[in-house]
Amino acid sequence: MFSNTEDSKTKLSELGEFGLIDHLTKHFSIQQSSTLKSIGDDAAVLEHKDPIVVTTDMLVEGIHFDLSYSPLKHLGYKAVMVNLSDVYAMNAKATQITVSISCSNRFTVEALEELYAGIHHAASLYNIDVVGGDTTSAIKGLSISITAIGTAKKEKITYRSGAKPNDLVVVSGDLGSAFMGLKVLEREKEVFKVNPNSQPDLEKYTYLVERQLKPEARKDIPELLEKLGVLPTAMIDISDGLSSEIIHISKNSNVGANLFEDKLPMDPALIATCEEFELDSTTVVLNGGEDYELLFTIDQKDYDKIKGNPNLSVIGHITEAKEGIHLITRANQKLPIQAMGWNSMDKEEN
């Protein structure tokens, strides 16, 4: 034991599986009228009038997160966001999640409480119920597997496949920041390894780091589009990078696309930090992942409805499939867009 605080930590084995789930979920309340039965039986029971959407994502320690700079509470929050983002990308409302966690005995009850505090915070803020869970041991590391359920009227559900030539390509928020937040955190980790007494001044990177560690899913965008009377023709969330996602929409819709470099939404902190790291900000915006913004296409007749909205940027338009997928640069060059994704970009640089 290195400190007194360690003495007061509780081993997972002291509670056992059932005790642990009860303990971790006892503060969770039910907010959705569609939840007939939550945790506590062989299965949850849900009653939805409209079709449901179901999506699942697993986050694995050492692959998707690094606990040396990711606080457990943020990690719990992010694990929920990653899944809700997929629900919103169907133009649906998220309603329930199930959470499965496996972890080695290096994690204490208090550590899992932190993780669940983040999950609970996300569930409260986004008005979703945690209706099922499984907590199990692992030989090594921490994994979080979440399944999210949402609902939408059948005619509102938006697939990747509905984009048509001349549709406008729209994106919410700004892009690339989560990737640069990761770059900043990785640099600080290296500095810390060399000098554990360093006091990093991360203040100017606050926005970028927060985008990486505690992203928000765009619950507001389907709501906004509903209010504006806009039904997107295709939609996807940006988890792997803009290039990868526009290629998914193009392939699934059998169309092409032109995106305009000067329209890509970037935060000033992103531009400054790209300069500092000597990275091209357009490359980061195209290939940096984990922004969890929504990329969608709309019919041109809906342009006036979204025009000037600070949450939305029109970044291009859909073309015929044979025209391919291109970026029109500031210098008016036409460059083919290829899938890279942030994993690939990471590999190139490391």
Binding residues: 42, 55-57, 64, 86, 116, 133-134, 160, 237, 239-240, 290, 342
Within 13 Å, how many C-alpha atoms sit on residue 132's CB side? 19
Is 143 a binding residue for its own copies by CB under 8 A? The answer is yes
Contacts of 128 (CB under 8 A, 6+ apart): 31, 32, 80, 84, 94, 95, 96, 97, 122, 148
Is 253 a binding residue for its own copies by CB under 8 A? The answer is no
Between residues 54 and 191, which has the closer beta carbon with respect to its own copies? 54
Contacts of 32 (CB under 8 A, 6+ apart): 95, 96, 127, 128, 129
User: What's the closest the beta carbon of residue 332 comes to its own copies, in angstroms?
Assistant: 32
| Amino acid making up residue 202 | L
> Smallest Cα–Cα separation from 232: which of 49, 85, 92, 126?
92
Which of 76, 133, 222, 241 touches its own copies by CB under 8 A? 133
| Amino acid making up residue 60 | V
Tell me whether residue 346 is exposed, middle or buried, using C-beta atoms within 10 angstroms of its C-beta: 0 to 12, 13 to 18, 19 or more.
Answer: middle
Which of 48, 121, 164, 187 touches its own copies by CB under 8 A? 48
DSSP 61: B
Which of 24, 72, 76, 86 touches its own copies by CB under 8 A? 86
Is 150 a binding residue for its own copies by CB under 8 A? The answer is yes
Which of 105, 127, 137, 198 touches its own copies by CB under 8 A? 137
Which of 167, 174, 188, 237 touches its own copies by CB under 8 A? 237
Which of 10, 147, 283, 311 touches its own copies by CB under 8 A? 147
Which of 32, 70, 95, 102 touches its own copies by CB under 8 A? 102
For residue 30, CA distances in Å to 96, 136, 218 come to 10, 24, 22
- Residue 152 to residue 223: CA distance in whole angstroms: 11
Is 23 a binding residue for its own copies by CB under 8 A? The answer is no
* Annotation: binding site for ATP: 116, 133-134, 160, 239
Q: 10 Å Cβ neighbour count for 301?
A: 8
DSSP 302: G
Tokens of 150: 């949402």
> Smallest Cα–Cα separation from 247: which of 326, 166, 159?
326
Between residues 41 and 201, which has the closer beta carbon with respect to its own copies? 41
- The contact pattern for its own copies, residues 27-46, with x = CB under 8 A and - = no contact, is ---------xx--xxxxxxx
Interface residues with its own copies (CB under 8 A) are 36-37, 40-48, 51-58, 60-64, 86-87, 89-90, 92, 96, 98-102, 131-134, 136-141, 143, 145, 147-150, 154, 157, 159-161, 235-237, 252
